[in-house]
Structure 1
Amino acid sequence: MLYKALISTYGASLAGKSAPLDDPVWHLEWSEDLQLFREYALDALQQAKVYLLDHLAANYTDTLHDAVQEKAESIGVPAMAILGEVQLPNNVNWVEFDNRALAIARFERGSPVTAHDDKPIGSGLRGYLIDDRSDDHLRITMFSRPEGSKVMDPICSLLVNRTADGKLNHDKVNEDLSRTMVNFRWRIGNSKEKIKALRTLHRIDTGYDLFIPYALFAMLVSPDLGGIIPAETETFRAKDVKTARKFGKSWVLGAQKSHLTIRIGPQAAAHMKERQARLEFEQQTQGVRNGPVRHWVSEHERRYRNGKVVLVKGHHRGHETDPGLPTRVMGPRLDKDDFIVALKD
């Protein structure tokens, strides 16, 4: 889990017990700002309600994003706006998923976000730290760790400001840039252009995939919509806790003892199966060499420009309907993007 890696790495470095290979950012580009951020992040992670989506649950949640994206774009609002006001389950929440597995699933199902990609784009793990403790803003920090990398610190966070009555103003979102990470990227040889691109990409990814944790929160209070199954799971094993006590790793002892693993239930699994079957069927029928579904063509005359008239006898045309294509939809249809979320009062 990325959650465990962050707790262990940040805690060890703040206690002066990490090695350069374990935490290159801390040892190459320590700054007072980095120290303050790490202290804040460790405290928030220890207080957070932790959710871990397995690859099927993350993919299922993301299909809801695809379902509402077209409508959202047509009316000029973010896809999240269609979810409505979603109440956060806790003041601080952590939602984690496998970004590589999600990227592969998006590519294979032809998600709109992969329309211009020739291969899956995404690596490692991704986690959202959503902090709602401030009266002035909601802080959203997206952490990621690409495969083979030890770097986990974000280059920026997003701050959603509140109006005078305490409501979130999604039209006024500020970026909290990490100068330490900009300097670190420069130190390891990244050009100004690449650093700017990384900063922009991180900000875009943070906003786009924010739909996943919010859709999860909505489904947790709307079981008829989601078909998901949360199960409490031990975060740090008894062996890890025993070792932490022995060597004084207070950062591990202060972390959440368990988290909720999110898996899909029968309803969601049926929806995913039906969706995949329909996508495959549409791909077959949309091919240039494939004709329409088999149907009867009545006898008729075909008239040509040179005056020739040909009598065409009645005949069947097209392909036989696939008998294995599901006819009952167990989840949101591809052409239906309206759904109702039952929210807490």
Structure 2
Amino acid sequence: MPLPLPRTARAVILATGAALLARRALRRRIDASPLWPLPALEEPVSGQPRSRALRLRVARHERVADGVVQLRLEGGHLDGLPAWDPGAHLDLVLPSGLVRQYSLCGDPEDTSSYTVATRLIGADEGGRGGSREVHEALREGVEVEVRGPRNRFPLVDDAGAYVFVAGGIGITPVLAMVRAVDAAGADWRLLYCGRSRASMPFLEELEKLGGPGGRVTVVAEDEAGRPDVGGFLGAGAAGAVYVCGPEGLMDAVAGALPEGCALHLERFAPTTAAGGESAFEVELRRSGRTVTVGADTTVLAAVRAELPDTPYSCEQGFCGTCRHRVLEGEIDHRDELLTDGERGDSMLICVSRARGTRLVLDA
């Protein structure tokens, strides 16, 4: 007759058996779920795969121009950061929860860190607190959540010549582009505009890259007034024109664009205005309410008037914080984030609208 097992041994066997049964039961529930197997992540509209969120450390916080700071974000605990190409940007999830987008302006070959720069935008200029938080809260040693990189502003590699036009902090995505085309030996020119030379980051490096041949034209408004965009564009060959800056500058470039040139834009704001041509209704199915979205307002504003806790952040269709599931209705998508698949039943209510007279949200 076998000897009885000690009490501790019996407890270990029972616990092990219970854990095994629990794992098997969980496996059966997973296999039976209509959500399994999980679909592969779809390609976003930008063509770049979604990247998981990372926790990076601010290794350097430095002032690089009046009102402009540059951050070096390192992932020392990682084997290497996701790759990026000129024109790409990151989403920074700030300590307050705000999500803001900043162009990468470092070296794509450096897989140990990312570099971004941001100008402090006051409330009188339409600032909503994100840039101030970057300047004041993201000091050296602070950890920050980063999503991306994503690229809505890719640099083509087969243009006969390149013309770059940057206004103020719009130089950040252009800087990496200029470095890339210069290293490749391509024909390029840059018009760099700003309020003053002291407020224009990376000016010294760009003037060195331009050399004595006049490839870099600097126009500081306090010295020379507004730039002659038409004169600059017409002064030489241009196969691809890249512009990043205020709306007025981009409008000026578009209006003076020589025939046969390909125009590429990186905007500080949504591609289309927040308002629409007509009002429509939005039913909030779970809340049992219906709101009217006027022609001069957004779905987000109308929903928050009824549901003040509705989350949001960038209000520009970039970050995805205000994404909602759409149960009924046709969507007029105006965001820069959702994939083609996600657009079938989701919308970012900060910028997107209804194509008809009614939408039903799962809210």
Q: Give the structure-2-normalised TM-score.
A: 0.21
Larger proportion of helix? 1
| Structure with higher RCO (Cα < 8 A, 6+ apart) | 1
Q: Give the structure-1-normalised TM-score.
A: 0.22
